[in-house]
Structures are given as C-alpha cells and as structure tokens.
Amino acid sequence: MAVSQKGWATLIEANDYFEEERLATDHWDALTDNDDKMRALNFAYNRIYYSPDYSVPAKGDETAAEKIILIKAQSEMAYYAILHVSDEDRRKGLQAQAVTTAGIVKEVYDKDRAAKIPIPPIVEELLAPLIDADLTAMTMIDLDRDENESVDTKVDDF
C-alpha cells in the first residue's frame, strides 16, 4: 500500500523543488522508493505542523502564497530528516537519560535543550513570514472611554 500524503507538498512538488531550487540533493536522490520520500515528507509536515514554535495552516487551509513557502519548508525539513534524524534520535535518547557528556569526541549536551525538537535554520527562515506579528508585538491605543483620561494617565497613584 502506498504511503499517503499528509502535508502541503506532494511528491511531485517536492521533487520539483529539489530539481529546480536546491543545489545539494544527494540524500533525497538516494531514496529510490517513493514511499520513503513520502514518509520523509510526512515526518517533515508533522514536525512543522505540531511544533509549538509555529502556527501554520493545516493542509488545505493555506493560501496560494503560503503553500509555496510551506512546500519549501516541508521539503527542507524532509531533507534534514533523511540526513540527521537517526543521529538526532540517538542524541535525544541520551539527553532523555540525563546524559550531559558522551563519546570519544567529547560531545556535550545542553540539558535545557533536551525537550526542544530541532528545526533547521533554513526551515525557521522560510517559516518566519508565517509567524503572526500580533503574537509577538503589543501596542496600546486610546479606546472610546466615558472619562477624559488618555492611555498615558497613571491609574496606580492613590
């Protein structure tokens, strides 16, 4: 049974992205089974969609402009997964066991990042325009009021 599409990028769209826009594609190209590529794309969709750091539209709810960005982000996340997720799983397993240093190469793990799921910088940059500015900024404006005070009036002076 073929692996179904769960994300924004179809297999054709992801292949087009890798053929037309990404310079290094060795790890994507090495996957000769389309089901493996689709699993990587589904992994990428889940990692992005369920990340607490982003509020992205579900598949089918995106605008045309958002879809272009999301296809690229999902494809890049899939490439990261193909290349790094096995190592990430091992390292996160060590961190879950409270290991802070390990190995012959003297790896040091930041215990404060043990629960943080990595998102590669290129994916973060691609998703940056989709972050709702209203969630990151606060402004104050004068509202219609019954009294003659402005927002600058101190109300904590007794």
Of 121, 14, 31, residue with least CA distance to 83 = 31
Amino acid at 36: D
Mean pLDDT of all residues in 4-23 = 95
Q: How many alpha carbons fall within 13 Å on the CB side of residue 153?
A: 9
| Residue whose C-alpha is closest to residue 75's, from 26, 121, 129, 37 | 37
pLDDT digits (tens, 9 = 90+) for 39-79: 999 999 999 999 988 889 999 999 999 999 999 999 999 99
**Residue 74 tokens, joined:** 């999902």
Q: Which residue has the higher pLDDT, 5 or 156?
A: 5
Of 139 and 29, which is predicted with more confidence? 29
What's the pLDDT score for residue 134? 45
The pLDDT tens digits of the residues spanning 80-126 come to: 999 999 888 888 887 878 888 877 778 888 877 778 889 999 999 99
Average pLDDT over residues 1-23: 93
Residue 139 has what pLDDT? 57
